[in-house]
Amino acid sequence: MAAIEAAIETAPTMVELDSPVCGSSFPSTIPSDDMSSSSNSASMSSTPPTTVSPDSMSIASEPDALNKPESVAASSIEAIVPVPQSHGGEQPESGQQTPIGHDAIVVAEQPLATEPASAARPRRARSSLPTYNIAKLLDTNGLGRRRSKGNAGERGKRRAISDAMMADRDDGSAKDSIDAAAKTVRVVTRRKSDASAVNRPATRVSTPRSARISKLSSSSPAPAHLTRRATRLSGAPVETLSTKLSALSKRGKKAVDKALGGLSRELKRLQDTNEYARIDTRPVRYTVWSNGKYVEVDPAQATTSTAPEPPRKKVRVDEDDVRKEQSAQPEKEDSVAPAFKKPRVKKWLEKGLYAGQEAPLDIFKGLTAQEKKKLASLPELLPSGKPNKTFPAPMYNGLRMLIHGRDFKLPFDVCNPLPPGQPKPAAYRTMTKNRFVGNAAAYWKKTPHFEDFASKCVCKPEDGCGESCQNRIMLYECDETNCNIGKAHCTNRAFQDLQERTKKGGRYRVGVEVFKTADRGYGVRSNRCFEPNQIIMEYTGEIITEEECERRMNEVYKDNECYYLMSFDQNMIIDATTGSIARFVNHSCSPNCRMIKWIVSGQPRMALFAGDRPIMTGEELTYDYNFDPFSAKNVQKCLCGSPNCRGVLGPKPKEVKQPKSPKEDKKAVKTPSKASARGSAKGSAKSSAKAAAKASAKPTAKTTDKAPTKISTKRKLQDAFDFDGDEREGATTVKKRKIVVANGLNRTVSSVNLKAAKGAAKRAASTIVRGVSSISVAAKKKTVTETTIATTTRRASAGGVTKTTLGKKTTTTKTKIVIPSRSPSLTIVAAGIGSSSTSSTPGTQKTEKPITPASSSSAKKSTVPKLTISSGKTSPRKWTPSRKAIEAGLVALKSPSSSTAVKAVATTKTSSGKGLHLKQTKIKLVSASKSSK
Ligand SMILES: C[S@@+](CC[C@H](N)C(=O)[O-])C[C@H]1O[C@@H](n2cnc3c(N)ncnc32)[C@H](O)[C@@H]1O
């Protein structure tokens, strides 16, 4: 006690001696306005910093700290400095720092108002505020002083000063003060020393330090605000490094000093700081947010460092499991006391959506026979014999969905990723329904199927008017008048389906859109998916007669680049110049669609159907024009880009009429199609179709035509167009062609006809005129060659044998040529371009170079429908064959290689008008099959 008191008393004395000794002009007091300024002023001082009470400095710089009794800054327990009331007549304000010389700052804190002054002040404390140059006293003024935060800018300066001072010291002024005892003291000082401990040489202290401390604390408890705490947050005084060091023996201190020697001086100085010890002196504030809003927290709670616990995740506990566990618990406890917590068992979903619902006893209940049949054939319902060990499907393998069905739906954008804003063709008049113009209606009424369609099919409900439906085979759409099974079961109502689909409108229901192709003008593409054979859109327009067509070609469309004319029946043409967008569908040699003509409610209608494979969104829709250039001059280069492209908009190779071997002829007689002789009786066509349907249903009908095929025409045609090797493939492959009996469902007319070619070709006196022909005419501005072709497609009633007869009355010189019969669904193109074989001299008439003198047509004009196709302008993508090719083509035309041949009469006339030299070539093709002769 006496020692401590002596130490306290010594301090003022030393201070008094300090100034003259040091010779410094330090002011005894430097009043500071506030804490920060005091801190700064300390930093700005030219005196080297001291390490005395660094914490008090840092704490003093924190205004918050001063307000909190438990966090009041002070030195450590060992550095309890009595606060005198007055010194030199000046009383610093509470909370101000009182500088001690330039180096050390002791925070002068007034005792709390609640504490009595006597208790807060030691007995012998001076009323005036003393100043201590503790650094000087400790001989640590040459060392750096720890600074409060935010004074980094002054570091360099401080270092410089410090170095200078160190140099001074090295010069000897302070040499004497460096001795062995001081070494120890310095170490202690550096490690958070206190003045009293340092000032007293270790040798003078006889009692152990711990004893002294305890004595001190018990005898004169320091005011709470002056008691240094290790952390303001913990509130509990901790044993500091200095106390530990001071308790060490000399040897131990040396060891520690050595161990710390690796640290830089700066770090060593900082070792006693909270920052170094990673102690947060500011409470961490936790904010609470709920539903995106800030929640006010009780300030008392907010100031505490304890963070609110995050909400715990709710753990779902299955009540059954709890009960089970509870019931199982006593048993287990009885047997073996569980040492560890039982691991949780993972739960798996074992049932589907409809778990727990009763399965229908009879899944076929309420279904029609057809539905039952369909359901029974579902592979999902067939017993597999193996237990299902994979994830089970919804209840009963999705039976509910299988029975009731549910449409799969996706947002339209997903199905239709096509970018909008395609360039649209110039405005044109549209027509959603065919319209007869002129005599066309009268013509139509004269056709046999105008009455044929009315007779009913013989299907049963379970058949659903499938492939064996004679209506379907005849390409008659079922309706209430001609269908035996009714709408509920009938599947042969494509046009009605189309109408229902498009009735509400909308892009998806319409399903197609016009777009601009790179090289073929406009085209049509799908903006939805289509199933195989599904109806896509109708080809509508004005139904005109051949004569009307010719007139329009010459008068109305003579300047047009493209004609939208489709031959689809005898003497009738659909002119889609005013019509549906189906007219923009381009040709492809590998098409994904077919253009098929149907009779719907007794009216001729044409529609584009998907092919045998589904169509995806964005695909360009194409069909095979079966484009017959007829003359090499009229050929247009095909730009479809398919691998098997024929190179030109020419006829399909497979459509080359297969000559019949005598064997086949015999077979044909035996086939049921014999009943198809149309001429036998009115309406016999349908009955023959029924017979044909039965025949076609039998798989035996599939035969291979092994007879040598004469394809001279096609080959010559290929030659005419100068096909290269690849393009010849089509011609060579038709050498041996299998003739497969068509099954009748949504097949092209051509395939139907091909099937029919099996037998009844020659006896096809009764003709079902059903030719699907497309017309594409290339126009030329200056010289127009007009080719007139009359087409009659005759199809034998026994499954559709078709004969094509092309004919046109000649006006001038007649040149008869015989052309082998082509596809029944012949597409006729007369793209007459300036023919080199005709003179362009106005007023003169030149007979086109006779191709082959042919026998005159034996076909009766009255029965041969005519199709007039006029050539317009030259297509910009004009195909110009070589002369040799032309010759070859002509040779081809005159090759009567087929038993069923078409005789053509080609006429050429040249006329002029309005400065234009019109050269018209009219070719009349007449069916000249041997049988019909
Ligand atoms: C009925 S139009 C089709 C629509 C036409 N692309 C348009 O822009 O109006 C027939 C014409 O289209 C062109 N065309 C169609 N398919 C073609 C193809 N695969 N290659 C070259 N041109 C084609 C030909 O000029 C042909 O005469």
Quick: pLDDT tens for 678-692: 333 334 444 444 444
Percent pLDDT > 70 in the chain is 30
**Domain-terminating residue out of 213, 237, 261:** 237
- 602 φ/ψ sector (left φ>0, alpha ψ -120 to 50, else beta): left
CA distance to 302, 303, 307, 308, 634, per residue, from 296 (Å): 9, 13, 14, 13, 88
Confidence of residue 720 (pLDDT cuts 50, 70, 90): very low
Ligand 1: nearest atom to the Cα of 583: 1
Distance 67 CA to ligand 1 centre (A): 93
Residue 773 maps to a domain: yes
Question: Strand, coil or helix: what is 395?
Answer: helix
Question: Buried (b) or exposed (e) across 43-71, using 16+ Cβ within 10 A?
Answer: bebebbbbbbbbbbbbbbbbeebbeeeeb
d(CA 761, CA 777): 30
Domain count, the chain: 2
Question: Strand, coil or helix: what is 489?
Answer: coil
Tokens standing for residue 409: 């739906």
Distance 754 CA to ligand 1 centre (A): 26
Distance 520 CA to ligand 1 centre (A): 5
Residue 626 maps to a domain: no
Look at 767 and 515; give whichever has higher pLDDT. 515
Confidence (pLDDT) at 877: 31
Distance 933 CA to ligand 1 centre (A): 38
Contacts for 201-206 with beta carbons within 8 Å, 24 or more apart? 202/250, 204/3, 205/3
| 639 pLDDT above the threshold of 50 | yes
Q: Assess whether the C-beta atom of 646 lies below 6 angstroms from ligand 1.
A: no
Q: Assess whether the C-beta atom of 453 lies below 6 angstroms from ligand 1.
A: no
CA distance to 447, 496, 548, 769, 796, per residue, from 450 (Å): 6, 19, 22, 11, 16
Contact criterion met (CB below 8 Å) for 198 and 189: yes
Mutate to test the pocket of ligand 1, among 428, 515, 520 (most ligand atoms within 8 A of CB): 520
Task: Give start and end residues of each alpha helix (H) in 838-931.
Answer: 883-893
Question: Strand, coil or helix: what is 492?
Answer: coil
Residue 420 maps to a domain: no
Confidence (pLDDT) at 352: 58
Distance 909 CA to ligand 1 centre (A): 28
Q: Assess whether the C-beta atom of 607 lies below 6 angstroms from ligand 1.
A: no
Q: Is the ipTM of this complex over 0.85?
A: yes
Ligand 1: nearest atom to the Cα of 638: 20
Q: For 222-249, how does the pLDDT look when each residue is reduced to its tens digit (9 = 90+)? A: 444 444 444 444 444 455 555 665 666 6
Q: Count the neighbouring beta carbons within 10 Å of the beta carbon of residue 437.
A: 17
Using CB atoms within 10 Å of the CB of residue 239, give its burial: 0 to 12 exposed, 13 to 18 middle, 19+ buried: exposed
d(CA 538, CA 510): 11
Nearest CA residue ID for atom 4, ligand 1: 584
Task: Say which DSSP state 825 is in.
Answer: T
Say which residue the tokens 């051509």 belong to: 750
Residue 338 maps to a domain: no
Q: How does DSSP assign 546-581, residue by residue?
A: HHHHHHIIIIISTT-SB--EEEEETTEEEETTSS-G
Distance 361 CA to ligand 1 centre (A): 59
Mutate to test the pocket of ligand 1, among 636, 721, 870 (most ligand atoms within 8 A of CB): 636
Most confident of 144-148, 187-191, 455-459, 777-781: 455-459
Q: Assess whether the C-beta atom of 539 lies below 6 angstroms from ligand 1.
A: no
121 lies in which domain range?
2-177+222-237
Contacts for 431-434 with beta carbons within 8 Å, 24 or more apart? 431/540, 431/541, 431/542, 431/578, 431/579, 431/580, 432/538, 432/540, 432/580, 433/540, 434/540, 434/541, 434/542, 434/543, 434/574, 434/603, 434/604, 434/605
Confidence (pLDDT) at 364: 83
Ligand 1: nearest atom to the Cα of 576: 1
> Nearest to residue 169, comparing CAs of 22, 17, 14?
22
d(CA 107, CA 110): 9
**Domain-terminating residue out of 237, 271, 287:** 237
Say which residue the tokens 């000046």 belong to: 90
Q: Count the neighbouring beta carbons within 10 Å of the beta carbon of residue 389.
A: 6
Contacts for 124-127 with beta carbons within 8 Å, 24 or more apart? 124/5, 124/8, 124/9, 124/82, 125/82, 125/83, 125/84, 125/85, 126/12, 126/82, 126/84, 126/85, 126/86, 126/87, 127/84, 127/85, 127/86, 127/87
β-strand partners of 594: 609
Residue 47 maps to a domain: yes
Mutate to test the pocket of ligand 1, among 424, 539, 557, 562 (most ligand atoms within 8 A of CB): 562
d(CA 625, CA 650): 8
Q: What is the mean pLDDT of residues 112-138?
A: 51
Confidence (pLDDT) at 612: 94
| Kind and range of the H or E run holding 774 | strand 773-775
| 410 pLDDT above the threshold of 50 | yes
Ligand 1: nearest atom to the Cα of 777: 27
Task: Give start and end residues of each alpha helix (H) in 338-418.
Answer: 369-376, 395-404, 412-415
Distance 523 CA to ligand 1 centre (A): 8
Look at 802 and 529; give whichever has higher pLDDT. 529
Q: Assess whether the C-beta atom of 582 lies below 6 angstroms from ligand 1.
A: no
Q: Assess whether the C-beta atom of 196 lies below 6 angstroms from ligand 1.
A: no
Look at 273 and 848; give whichever has higher pLDDT. 273
Using CB atoms within 10 Å of the CB of residue 172, give its burial: 0 to 12 exposed, 13 to 18 middle, 19+ buried: exposed
Q: Assess whether the C-beta atom of 871 lies below 6 angstroms from ligand 1.
A: no
> Side chain identity at 915, as an amino acid letter?
G
Q: Assess whether the C-beta atom of 673 lies below 6 angstroms from ligand 1.
A: no
Least confident of 257-261, 393-397, 890-894: 890-894
Distance 383 CA to ligand 1 centre (A): 54
Contact criterion met (CB below 8 Å) for 90 and 31: yes
Residue 892 maps to a domain: yes
CA angle 892, 898, 900 (to 5 degrees): 120
Question: Strand, coil or helix: what is 537?
Answer: strand
Contact criterion met (CB below 8 Å) for 544 and 431: no
Distance 525 CA to ligand 1 centre (A): 14
Ligand 1: nearest atom to the Cα of 517: 6
Nearest CA residue ID for atom 13, ligand 1: 520
Ligand 1: nearest atom to the Cα of 584: 4
**Domain-terminating residue out of 210, 237, 264:** 237
Residue 648 maps to a domain: no
Residue 329 maps to a domain: no
Distance 127 CA to ligand 1 centre (A): 114
Average pLDDT in the chain:
56
Distance 521 CA to ligand 1 centre (A): 6
Q: What is the mean pLDDT of residues 32-40?
A: 36
Look at 801 and 173; give whichever has higher pLDDT. 173
Most confident of 74-78, 223-227, 570-574, 869-873: 570-574
Distance 730 CA to ligand 1 centre (A): 22
Stated pTM of the model: 0.40
Nearest CA residue ID for atom 22, ligand 1: 520
